[in-house]
A and B are shown apart, each in its own frame.
Chain A
């Protein structure tokens, strides 16, 4: 499987890009040229220079340093959201698919209800209800997203649990965890990897949107969406301010989406090697 991964150019490039960004985020305190919180009002909206490679913002803070420090909340929160979503969704989906009957009915009807809400409005509602806080943003995202995963994983389990290879394991008395972790989950994993790498892009945008609207990460913490929010106030006078965080968000989200497509090819053993 790993060899197939290495053979897929898109997968390798996007993964490398994402990993590089993550490493930059981890190393931010050591490689950032300036303190991301230090304002220098006199030097605001400075152009690109050696001291401020990407210029300064409306408070004279180094944009590059803020971008680097912003990786942690941007990627970290999105990752947390996905872990929560997949965890809850997988648990519910496996319960529904494995036990069937009344458990299945109850879980799937809850899922139907969840899926029928317009998601963006649900996020606002949840955040409004719980208060403006990063933790609540993650909770809200998990809350509206888990149902998708629950339904997908249940479908997968139902689809594979009557295949002959599972029936064989069952017949000769292989333990349940073998059936679950060696047969069912790997069969679903391909779809799961694709969906979640597409959705992590969604999570990044969502968290950035909420920060942009002032509901997520609060100033002065550097987060890409929050930086866009600050830049929008000076959109007419200094449009360049939008550029850096905007391009960064688009690039990362695109990378995740391309990775999702590439994973679909990599994880299918029938796909002939290029």
Chain B
């Protein structure tokens, strides 16, 4: 339902050799991918490989230099209809949760914004207080958090508030940029189970950005490997052992090694 075709993105280089230099740093090169309705696509890549940038392009916040971003065949950036369609269908959890919520809002207003989005879509009034309480319990937070300010919550709690807000929007596609990475293993599983349950119930589509292989195998149907702005391989999660691409292999092995070391360390303790 959402598709990228030959996307290129570059940023201005801050360190120009010439005074009026126009050198640009390429961040995404010739990205093409198609996400079907009801699937969960994982995007895996090392830090700085352009995952978040790709997410920005997907949710309509960053116009690519060239290439097409389409939703149900409509262009997200050049057609009004496509933009409207995308806004109605997408919701997002950003990587940086510290700036994801307005520091002047109470938690209930932060989640309330998502509820407003749903109200605008369904044109039905929703009982605020109850809905906020329901969403908070859904992500494993106490109802009393509703009257707090973001700075009075821990990072992981804030991240869960952002997930609650994204879920509140009643979106068909949810983009999760490192949404569970800052949580402990137990809460991670809890949130992912919640998301899987929602997905099965409402036939949602997820785009799941992470550098964590375990959560990908737990959560995603397909994985896209990103290396230095290039898609190196796209494969079914069930076939992840059979990747052929050199970079993807290297990435997999480094992660597996790391996990083994971790296990070993855990055994020693």
Contacts and interface: CB of A to CB of B under 8 A. Distances in A.
B104 to A, nearest CB: 5
A172 B94 contact: no
Contacts of A168: 92, 94, 100, 113, 165
A43 to B, nearest CB: 58
Size bracket of the A interface: 10 to 19
A269 B149 contact: yes
A173 interface: yes
Going nearest first, the 10 A-B pairs with the smallest beta carbon separation are A173-B87, A164-B100, A164-B94, A164-B99, A165-B102, A163-B99, A171-B59, A172-B117, A269-B149, A171-B92
A87 B173 CA distance: 41
B117 A270 contact: no
Interface in A138-191: 163-165, 167-174, 178, 182-183, 186-187
B142 to A, nearest CB: 20
A165 B92 contact: no
A270 B149 CA distance: 9
Interface in B166-186: 169, 171
Interface string B129-173: 000000000000000000001010000000000000100010100
7 contacts: A164-B100, A165-B100, A168-B100, A170-B61, A173-B117, A187-B102, A270-B103
Query: What's the dominant secondary structure at chain A's contact region?
Result: helix
B103 A269 contact: yes
B96 A164 contact: yes
Contacts of A178: 116
Given A167-B61, A167-B94, A269-B149, A172 B169 contact: yes
Nearest to B84: A173
Contacts of A183: 102
Contacts of A173: 84, 87-88, 117, 120
Nearest to A190: B104
Contacts of A187: 102, 104
Contacts of A165: 99-102, 105, 110
B151 A270 contact: yes
A186 B106 CA distance: 13
Contacts of B97: 164
Nearest to B149: A269
A172 B87 contact: yes
A171 B90 contact: yes
B67 interface: no
Contacts of A186: 104
B60 interface: yes
B4 to A, nearest CB: 16
Contacts of A174: 113, 116-117
A163 B61 CA distance: 12
B102 to A, nearest CB: 4
Nearest to A170: B61
Given A164-B97, A167-B61, A186-B104, 7 more contacts: A164-B96, A168-B94, A172-B117, A173-B87, A174-B116, A182-B102, A187-B102
A183 B94 CA distance: 17
B8 interface: no
A163 B88 CA distance: 21
Interface string A172-216: 111000100011001100000000000000000000000000000
A178 B114 CA distance: 13
B91 interface: yes
Nearest to B95: A164
Contacts of B171: 172
Contacts of B101: 164-165
Nearest to B59: A171
Nearest to A187: B104
B259 to A, nearest CB: 30
B29 to A, nearest CB: 24
A45 B255 CA distance: 92
Nearest to B101: A165
B59, B96, B99, B169 — which one has the most chain A CB atoms within 10 A of its CB?
B99
Contacts of B105: 165
Contacts of B169: 172
Contacts of A182: 102
Contacts of B92: 168, 171-172
Interface in B46-65: 59-61
A171 B114 CA distance: 11
Given A165-B99, A165-B101, A172-B90, A269 B59 contact: no
A172 B83 CA distance: 10
B104 A269 contact: yes
A172 B91 contact: yes
A164 B59 CA distance: 13
A165 B102 CA distance: 6
A271 to B, nearest CB: 10
Interface string B110-131: 1001101100100000000000
